[in-house]
Structure 1
Amino acid sequence: MRSKLSKTLATRIRVGALAALTVFALSACSGPSAGSPEPGSPSVKNFSLAIQTPISSMEPANLNDGQAAYVWSAIYDTLLFVDHNGEVQPNGAKKWEYDPDKTRLTLVIRDDMKFSDGQPVTVADVVATLERSRTAKGLQAPALSAVASVTATDDKTVVLQLSRPDPVLLIALSQGAGAIAPAKALDNKDIVANPIGSGPYVLDKATVPGSSYVLTRRDDYWNLGAFPFPKLTFRVIADPTAQFNALQAGELTAGQLQPQQVAPMEAKGLKVTRLAGQAHLTMLLLDKKGELVPALADERVRKAINMAFDREGIVKAILQGAGKPTVQIFNPDSKEYNEKLEGYYKYDVQGAKNLLAEAGYKDGFSVTMPSTPYSTTFEPTVTQALGDIGIKVSWEPVPPQNTGAAIAGKKFPMVLYIDALPAAQKMIGTYYGPNAYTNPFRYTDPELEKLVAATATADEAERVELSKKIAAFATEHALNAPIAYMGGTIATDPGVEFVDPKSAMGSNVRQYEQAK
């Protein structure tokens, strides 16, 4: 990458780069706001949204917390949920309590939940689902890695005994790790495509797996007032232009816009919400132990990679200003954001080359990265930037539904990734914990482990300071190469309101309410 991105390159990829945000702007629980129309009233509308990839599984142990959560979180209750302020709230568990050491979590389960087959939800179902997700070696197992056992102490209480304090366990229980299914259904292979849950919706027979998912609201749901839409439709539309066309045609009630599309949609009467920071673009340096690419075990090499990116040029030329250069991943609007770190890595091709030479890689080296829906439009920029310092990049196509496996499967040493900006506790668990999803090679450092462990028992003020220290450690030791915060614009039908400006809730239909 030159000091200024070439005009041709920037023009060629900027539209696709902005469109990539569709994956995240529409991802991420609160009760209905005062003044919202009552379910069933004439003004209530159905809700429709595009998702980029088909859903690979609705089995609790293999739930994906990305866009697939729009569908499964409407079918399953989770034990807890996160509201649009990023605060953990009761849900399937009406209250919870840690012991003083935070190694024993007690959950009191609601007694008014029913599965869609009419059977009541029992503590036995909660225990069985958590045990399956914990032990099945599926996508949710890492989120429950600190849980040593799950037991029911009476007909309302479930106790999770932990092997160590886990600062992100409550967040995990608001996501796929906290989903509740009938114990008797867990061994049924049909659960992958035809789940039974206690959530507010059920799959409608109009569903075409891999193409569209239609959900009908249950009238007997315990928290019906929080879900005003009688029917939900999630269409699988991978192409961002096709998504925009569907929104423009009135086939979707919400969607992501590129800058040049805002004025036409406002003229059409759609409501436009601008989000300053909703995702981060980061080069994940997965192989920090050097198992696939020995060079990545050297901190000097990882620092050189950070110096290869012209972050300001990427934001200006490719994101058209809809973002902010960064070297960290905590939400810039959060208390945990460490402003002092910005600018830590300057764009310096020669300096990066010098570091590579100092580490013994004067002639560079080669890496293979997965080509995913997140990376495609950025690949020319990344290839050029790393090529300029001597790192040759090859891209291996990966199907959209296998993006998670591309990160967790230890096949690739590096991955270009876009992720949302949830609460700092969740970010710590995802990126810096010993069993983090983005740490498949299980890189460890005593200082980092100590900082992460301390967040589990710290009060809020202490946790904020610890988070800033974690961000500083990650930056100074080049654990990854964050590039930019990405903003976006969401358009909604006049009858629908987007109520999650911080994108704190994850992929959940409760990001949307009926317009007041």
Structure 2
Amino acid sequence: MKLPRSLAAVVAVSALLFAGCAGGGDGGGGDGGSGSTGGDGASSNAVTVLSIAQHAGPPSLDPEQALAGEQHFVFQTTYDSLILLTPDGQFEPMLATSWEFSDDLKTLSMELRDDVSFTDGAKFDAEAVKANILHYRDGTGATAGNLRLVQDVVVTGEYSVDIVLSDVEPYLLMYLANGSGFMGSPEKLGTEEIKTNPVGTGPYIYDATASSVGENLWFTKNPDYWNPDLQHFEKVNLQIIGDQTARVNALVSGQIDAVNVDLSSADQVEGAGMIYVGTENAGYGLHLTDRNGTKSAAIADVRVRQALNYAFDREKIAASLFNGRAAMNTQLYAPGVDGYLEELEELYPYDPAKGKELVSEAGFEGAEVGVTWLTYTDPAVKAVIQEAFTSIGLVPVVNELVASDAFGLIRPDMPTVLWSAGNRPDPWNGAMSAAPTQPFNTFKIEDPEANRIIADMRANFLDEEKLKAGAEELNRFVMEQAWIVPIYAQPYGYYHSPRLEVDAQYAASIPFLYNFRPAS
């Protein structure tokens, strides 16, 4: 089943690339690099060990903590999802063999594989699916909100379930093909054990003895895996390397096979023969989260929020960042997407004088405003933001979080946060980014007008024209109220060794683990 283009996207927090860690080497796994000889007696040139670096490891190996981006490597090794999202954007069977929505789109009936067991011996069946779905819905992970509309999971047979919703959820299949669909052993869910020793049905088994949590994770091929076509390596090694320079050096030296690097290093890695995995541009900017003034009275004033939008010379910024690989980012939706409005390109032209006038008019000249970003944020981006605040009479109070504390970006005490903002890839993705339940609405602010628009979009999400009209209305509202400050857009800098073949992943910034294989 092909995902309609208008509904394809990276799920809000799933779009987060929580990156970063320290330490590398070949660890205790004993297989030093991608050319190591595996147990099948392959030649020394055969790639039997896949070594991937990422900025940071997840806070837990419990599947309810699964995120997209770099984090999904950790989970796709040991856990299978109910549905497989292929590189070209098709939904295909995985642990679920078939599925069908009811006429009112509020019940999803699924048939399940009857020949799969978890690596601890527990049986995969309908009861296991129910336990996992409710574990996600009732959990505290960053993706818990994805399944908030799940009212019940009804076991209709040993290998069949109905997922009953309280309202239509346009992204349900996407969620079940991503982090909210990973199935863990029902005997381990909710235990302390699964946080450090994951137990799933996946293609690889976590090797706790060889691993060093927070530094180096090792996974070995599951000999009893039900789908060997997805097993391309004998072992998978995930190295946590927080430093940008260290990641680049590890890639070009052959210590690792693939990694996401800052695009400012693109010329270096391409010059070393590394291969780029293309992605669509992702928007970045400021989430003006404290719109009720809980921590910053200034951000509660729409004039100050609008002033910040006037403070950025987006054309100049796009030309100067990442060796000219960035693009302008001006509104909630990306150009070419239903919901994009050409008129909004000129809503906030670069005019710091006007911005300063608005700040003064609102009575906040000289006000301190907190702005939070991760330490690995490009220094040029940090400088641009601080200069913009200063140019309109605000005093930026910077709060830097280390990569391992990336979840701190969604704590309810950050007035403004730099992360993925604007340039959304489809109408419903934009709606989710503006919804009260979205992670960057950290103060959980409700807005009746936004809620009305989003409710209308939900009710009409299969009507392309009505969905487009709703997206345009939402775009105009969000930008006029200045909930975000779109600044720039960029492709992700994901590169791999020529010893691999890697397919870009539809609706994702980082390829899925299944997309990596030895080069022919």
TM-score range, shorter chain: 0.7 to 0.9
Distance 1:374 1:271, change over 3 A: closer
The letter for the 2-side match of 1:94 is: T
* 1:413 to 1:46, Cα distance in 2 relative to 1, 3 A: same
Structure 1 segment 154-169 matched on structure 2, within 5 A: 154-169=157-172
Structure 2 equivalent of residue 133 of structure 1:
136
Q: Deviations over 1:115-145 (max 9, x none)?
A: 1223321111111121122113333321121
Q: Which residue of 2 aligns with 1:221?
A: 225
Q: Does 1:76 align with 2:98?
A: no
Q: Distance in 2 between matches of 1:191 and 1:101?
A: 37
Of 237, 259, 282, the residue aligned with 2:241 is 237
Structure 2 counterparts to residues 286-435 of structure 1, below 5 A = 286-332=289-335, 334=337, 337-361=340-364, 363-373=365-375, 375=377, 377=379, 378-407=381-410, 409-418=411-420, 424=426, 427-428=429-430, 430-435=432-437
Residue 302 of structure 1 and its aligned partner are, at CA, apart by 1.4
Distance 2:328 2:355 in 1: 18
Cα separation, 1, equivalents of 2:471 and 2:299: 25
Q: Is the Cα contact below 8 Å between 1:255 and 1:491 reproduced in 2?
A: yes
> How many Å apart are 1:185 and its aligned residue?
0.7
Correspondence for 2:64 among 32, 51, 61: 61
Output the CA distance in 2 between the equivalents of 1:388 and 1:358.
15
Counterpart of 2:445? 443
Is 1:479 paired with 2:483?
yes
Aligned to 1:143: 146
1:254 paired to 2:278: no
Alignment of 1:95-106 (within 5 A): 95-106=98-109
* Contact 2:277–2:494 (CA under 8 A) maintained in structure 1: yes
What is the alpha-carbon distance in structure 2 between the residues aligned to residue 317 and residue 82 of structure 1? 36
Q: C-alpha deviations, 1:19-78, integer Å up to 9, x for none?
A: x99959xxxxxxxxxxxxxx9776454221111113210112333334222111221112
1:3 is matched with none
CA distance in 2, matches of 1:432, 1:44: 44
Are the aligned partners of 1:84 and 1:505 in contact in 2 as well (CA < 8 Å)? Answer: no
- Displacement of 1:373 in angstroms is 3.4
**Contact 1:386–1:393 (CA<8 Å) still a contact in 2?**
yes
2:64 and 2:144 in contact (8 A); partners too: yes
- Give distance in 2, aligned partners of 1:432 and 1:253: 37
- The structure-2 alpha-carbon separation of the partners of 1:292 and 1:269, relative to structure 1 and needing over 3 Å to count, comes to closer
Match of 2:9 in 1: none
Find the aligned partners of 1:303 and 1:140 in 2 and give their Cα distance: 30
Q: Distance in 2 between matches of 1:506 and 1:268?
A: 21
Residue in structure 2 matched with residue 508 of structure 1 by the alignment: 512
Q: How big is the shift at 1:355?
A: 2.0
CA distance in 2, matches of 1:202, 1:313: 48
- The within-5 A match list for 1:181-200 is 181-200=184-203
1:157 shift after superposition: 1.8
Instruction: Indicate which of 455, 467, 473 corresponds to 2:471.
Output: 467
Amino acid of the structure 2 residue aligned with 1:345: Y
In 2, distance between residues paired with 1:273 and 1:507? 8
Distance (Å, rounded) in 1 between the aligned partners of 2:195 and 2:270? 40
Q: What code does the residue aligned with 1:392 have?
A: V
Shift of residue 266, structure 1, vs aligned partner: 4.7
Given the superposition, is the C-alpha separation of residues 89 and 460 from structure 1 closer, same or farther in structure 2, using an over 3 Å criterion? farther
Mapped to 2, the partners of 1:66 and 1:265 lie a distance apart of: 20
Measured after TM superposition, the shift of residue 284 of structure 1 is: 0.8
Query: TM-score scaled by structure 1?
Result: 0.84
Q: What secondary structure sits across from 1:456 in the alignment?
A: helix
- 1:207 lines up with 2:211 in the alignment: yes
Structure 2 residues without counterparts, runs of 5 or longer? 1-15, 21-38
> How far apart are 1:403 and its partner, in Å?
1.7
- SS of 1:453 mapped into structure 2: helix
Checking the alignment, whether the CA contact within 8 Å between 1:423 and 1:504 is kept in structure 2 is no
In 2 relative to 1, CA 280–374 (structure 1 residues): closer, same or farther, beyond 3 Å? farther
C-alpha separation in 2, matches of 1:420 and 1:89: 30
Alpha-carbon distance in 1 for matches of 2:219, 2:431? 31
Match of 2:123 among 115, 120, 124: 120
What secondary structure is seen at the aligned counterpart in 2 of 1:390? coil
Q: Following TM superposition, by how much is the alpha carbon of 1:309 offset from its aligned partner in structure 2, in angstroms?
A: 1.2
Q: Provide the secondary structure at the position in 1 that maps to 2:464.
A: helix
Give, in whole Å, the separation in 2 of the partners of 1:84 and 1:336.
Answer: 25
Shift of 1:299: 2.2
Taking a change above 3 Å as real, the CA distance of residues 308 and 505 of structure 1, as seen in their structure-2 partners, is closer
Q: Distance in 1 between matches of 2:264 and 2:357?
A: 41
Give the letter for the 1:101 counterpart. Answer: D
How big is each residue's C-alpha offset from its partner over 1:72-93, in whole Å with a ceiling of 9 and x where there is no partner? 1221112224333444443222
Per-residue Cα deviation, 1:299-334 (whole angstroms, up to 9, x for no partner): 222111111112122222233311111123545465
Deviates more, 1:121-130 or 1:258-267: 258-267
Moved more, 395-404 or 197-206: 395-404
Taking the aligned partners of 2:423 and 2:240, their CA distance within structure 1 comes to: 23
Bigger relative CO (Cα 8 Å, ≥ 6 apart) = 1
The count of corresponding residues between Structure 1 and Structure 2 is 480
RMSD over aligned CA atoms reads 3.0
Distance 2:264 2:407 in 1: 31
* C-alpha displacement of 1:258: 5.7
* Structure 1 contact 83–504 (Cα < 8 Å) conserved: no
Question: How far does residue 509 in structure 1 lie from its aligned partner after superposition?
Answer: 1.2
> CA 1:282 to 1:83, structure 2 compared with 1: closer, same or farther past 3 Å?
farther
Distance change in 2, residues 1:263/1:375 (3 Å): closer
Deviating more after overlay: 207-216 vs 506-515: 506-515
